[in-house]
Amino acid sequence: MRIDAILSGEGPVFSFEFFPPKTPEGERNLYAALGELQALEPSFVSVTYGAGGSTREKTIEIVKRIRDEYGLEAMAHFTCVGATVEQLRATLDEMRAAGIDNVLALRGDPPAGEEEWIKTDGGLEFSRELVQLISEGYPFAIGAACFPETHIHAESPEADLEHLLAKVEAGVDFLITQLFFDNASYFDFVARARSAGVKVPIIPGIMPITRVGQVERMAQMCGAAIPAELRRELHARGEDAEAVLDFGVAYATLQCAELLAAGAPGIHFYTLNRSPATRAILSALKLVRPWEKAVYAGSISSPSATRGEPSAAS
Ligand code: FAD
């Protein structure tokens, strides 16, 4: 089923992101996590596309397996890295033959150790071109990335937003944000995107913190700010892994509850192929149902409204 159709249904969508593992042990962990998270009935799951297209076969294989064996809707991430247009088309053909309905169209990052993005000869420069290639020739629902705190290589927040609008207009059905730890950055970004003319749902991406060093590395890589108070609390727990995990679950649960109460269309969880934190957060959210307590339900998800405007339903 197409994710844009899922998004037009009732209630928030919850999705889980996994990455293709490199080892047999990693593979066992992935399917164990999937088995545990399956009971939470996610609206869809997504599978990343490794740097340099290194997981092409694996991404498609895992997406297929999730659909066929777990009965869950699954989306394949796809990047422009290291491929000519002809090769990109060949992979898209493979996805279509595999019965995939949803693709997250991305530019991708430079290979490890390289700073600058260099387009492959005969390939594509920006994700907008990939979106165009897909929307002109394939029946997939198309998702794309967006960056509440601005993409690290953008010339400016304004330029980043202009490029985002052009990408959406090329055929994007929904957006998923980069991870962030301060909801104010999401609310501000959605308001700016709506006034710039971006009309599609913007699903917040949340990564539950499970390890201090790891989250600091990832936040730095993708330009997500860790608020000073949050960093202080994390460091106060030092090497106590269990205390960090408990705190990470509590923090992300409150973050998600606030987002959903403000009308966010759902939550995309960056699971890092582990289940306990995401499972605890989503189970609690499903019990408390903060979206039903929304004061301004629909304000964030509605294309025509910005935060703080009462929707017709309120
Ligand atoms: P683009 O939309 O092409 O933007 C890249 C940069 O170019 C931005 O700074 C933008 O402002 C600028 N730009 C865009 N158009 C123009 C233009 N016409 N002129 C000048 N500048 C322009 N990476 C992977 O390798 N595999 C994955 O599976 C993966 N999954 C992801 C999932 C999510 C939800 C997110 C948020 C990111 C993911 N990434 C993944 C990372 C992503 O590939 C990188 O963040 C990449 O650097 C940017 O991708 P993009 O699709 O946003 O690029």
**Which residue's CA lies nearest to atom 15 of ligand 1?**
163
Ligand 1 centroid–CA 10 distance in Å is 30
- Mean pLDDT over the full length of the chain: 92
Ligand 1 centroid–CA 79 distance in Å is 9
CA 298 – CA 292 distance, rounded (Å): 11
Which H or E run contains 106? strand 102-106
> What is the atom index within ligand 1 of the atom nearest the CA of 151?
9
Ligand 1 in reach of 154 Cβ (< 6 A): yes
The full set of domains in the chain, from first to last, is 3-292 (3.20.20.220)
Ligand 1 in reach of 77 Cβ (< 6 A): yes
Mean pLDDT of all residues in 222-226 = 96
What dihedral angle (degrees, nearest 10) is formed by the CA atoms of 60, 66, 67, 69? Answer: 120
pLDDT, tens digit, for every residue of 141-190? 999 999 999 999 999 999 999 999 999 999 999 999 999 999 999 999 99
pLDDT at 165: 98
Total-model pTM:
0.95
Best of 126, 202, 206 for a ligand 1 pocket test (most atoms within 8 Å of beta carbon):
126
Ligand 1 in reach of 15 Cβ (< 6 A): no
Ligand 1 in reach of 58 Cβ (< 6 A): no
Ligand 1 centroid–CA 108 distance in Å is 6
Share of residues in the chain with pLDDT > 70 (%): 93
Share of residues in the chain with pLDDT > 90 (%): 87
**Which residue's CA lies nearest to atom 47 of ligand 1?**
109
How do 141-146 and 102-106 pair as beta strands?
Answer: parallel
User: In sequence order, what E strands does 126-281 have?
Assistant: 141-146, 174-179, 202-206, 266-270
**Which residue's CA lies nearest to atom 8 of ligand 1?**
154
Is the pLDDT confidence value at 52 over 90?
no
Is the pLDDT confidence value at 11 over 50?
yes
Mean pLDDT of all residues in 101-106 = 98
Ligand 1 centroid–CA 128 distance in Å is 9
Higher pLDDT, 72 or 301: 72
Ligand 1 in reach of 163 Cβ (< 6 A): yes
Q: Which residues are catalytic?
A: 17
Is the pLDDT confidence value at 296 over 80?
no
Best of 16, 60, 106 for a ligand 1 pocket test (most atoms within 8 Å of beta carbon):
106
Is the pLDDT confidence value at 312 over 60?
no
Higher pLDDT, 54 or 87: 87
Ligand 1 centroid–CA 174 distance in Å is 15
Tell me if 103 sits within 8 A of 140, measured CB to CB. Answer: yes
User: Residue 238: pLDDT band by 50, 70, 90 thresholds?
Assistant: confident
3-state secondary structure of 121: coil
pLDDT at 295: 61
Mean pLDDT of all residues in 123-141 = 98
3-state secondary structure of 77: strand
Ligand 1 in reach of 108 Cβ (< 6 A): yes
Amino acid identity at 142: I
pLDDT at 289: 96
User: Residue 51: pLDDT band by 50, 70, 90 thresholds?
Assistant: confident
Report angle CA 183, 215, 109 to the nearest 5 degrees: 90
- How many other β-carbons are positioned within 10 Å of the β-carbon of residue 71? 9
> What is the atom index within ligand 1 of the atom nearest the CA of 159?
11
